Structure 1
Amino acid sequence: MKTYFKVLGLAGLLAFSIPAMAQLSSKTEVATPELAAQREELKKQVTQGYLDIKNSLVKSDSAGASKAALAFTTSLKKFKFKKLTLDQMNEATATRAELIALADEIAKTQKINQQRKALGKLSAKFWPIAAKFKPENMPLFQQVCPMTGETWLSDVKEIQNPYYPKNMLTCGEVKASL
């Protein structure tokens, strides 16, 4: 019986101390400049990965788009969500899975038209959360192709249409900016 109470007491002590340690751990994690710098670098990698996919398609470089899609996926998988409620965490996790699936679609094919179609879907999913991934001091522009209605993101205002680069490279307009 004494052993039972000792185990019960130890379990109670752990039940109170583990949440306290987790809370202390998360507070110190946010406070360090090194972790903030690492997070900012990861945001840069995610955003640049997307931009590299788009820029490869502007050049009609399907191999480059595949390689960039793999880099985008790798950096996106490393990104950790912070300060989210359970519902927000579930939504963010589902969105990340959708983004990864679309990037994998780009990576797995060498057919440029299929990659461009996937970029349209990827862009539509990425824009609503781009502000969370956008590094500081890096503007992002949502641009649209008037012929197709497809959007893409760019770090410059100059239009370079990834859907029709040979015939309509400069066809498009800036729809929004961050």
Structure 2
Amino acid sequence: MKILKTVLLSLTLLVVFASAKAQEVTVSTSVNNVITAYLGVKNALIAGNNDMAKSSAKELLTAISTVPAKHFTPEQNTLWAAYTDKLQFDSRHISESAAIDHQREHFASLSKNMFELVKGLKLNATTLYEQYCPMKKATWLSETAAIKNPYYGSQMLTCGKTTETLNK
């Protein structure tokens, strides 16, 4: 009987641990889907493609809405709550505008908030670089160390510098 109780207790602990690990993966995956969608917006703006920026911003809105925030730690949940509405606001504006200048204006705010969120959550699966455009006086996140400026696209493609690295 004692062996049976030990086996049942072990199985219960294993299930609880596996369930907690699965929730952690879901949160991490969801946050990285938000990052990937954000990078899609950035890359569309680099290319000067307002239609692709609109589409990527819609994907970003969807990715934000599917993050299971209830599985965050209390500190992560507070951070997520502080930035969710801001991210959705700018994403919505980008997704509804055909004017690339307007999209880029909202991208500046979106980028500032994404940086703070990603830096605080510490769930990024890849190294990200915060880069700065001195002409626009604005930052963006990039998946590469090479500068490709989303604010001016082909006009000033390599204008900027890396200001911070967010390691995975």
1:159 and 1:172 in contact (8 A); partners too: yes
Which residue is 1:16 aligned to?
Answer: none
- Aligned match for 2:124, one of 112, 135, 138: 135
Query: 1:67-78 counterparts in 2 under 5 A?
Result: 67-78=55-66
> How big is the shift at 1:173?
0.1
User: 1:4-49 CA distances to partner (integer Å, 9 max, x unpaired)?
Assistant: xxxxxxxxxxxxxxxxxxxxxxx94884433333223212211001
2:79 and 2:117 in contact (8 A); partners too: no
- Residue type of the alignment partner of 2:124: P
> How big is the shift at 1:57?
0.2
Which residue is 2:23 aligned to?
Answer: 35
User: 1:131-178 CA distances to partner (integer Å, 9 max, x unpaired)?
Assistant: 326432x00000001112111000100000001112210010001110
Question: TM-score, length-normalised on structure 1?
Answer: 0.76
Residue 140 of structure 2: SS of its match in structure 1? strand
- Aligned match for 1:168, one of 143, 147, 156: 156
Matched residue count: 149
- Identity of matched residues, %: 26
Unaligned runs of 5+ in 2: 1-14
Cα distance in structure 2, aligned partners of 1:102 and 1:120: 9
Question: TM-score, length-normalised on structure 2?
Answer: 0.80
Query: 1:109-124 counterparts in 2 under 5 A?
Result: 109-124=97-112
Cα distance in structure 2, aligned partners of 1:29 and 1:46: 26
> How big is the shift at 1:77?
1.1
User: 1:45-96 CA distances to partner (integer Å, 9 max, x unpaired)?
Assistant: 11001000000000001011111111111111111231216xx745532420
Cα distance in structure 2, aligned partners of 1:30 and 1:117: 44
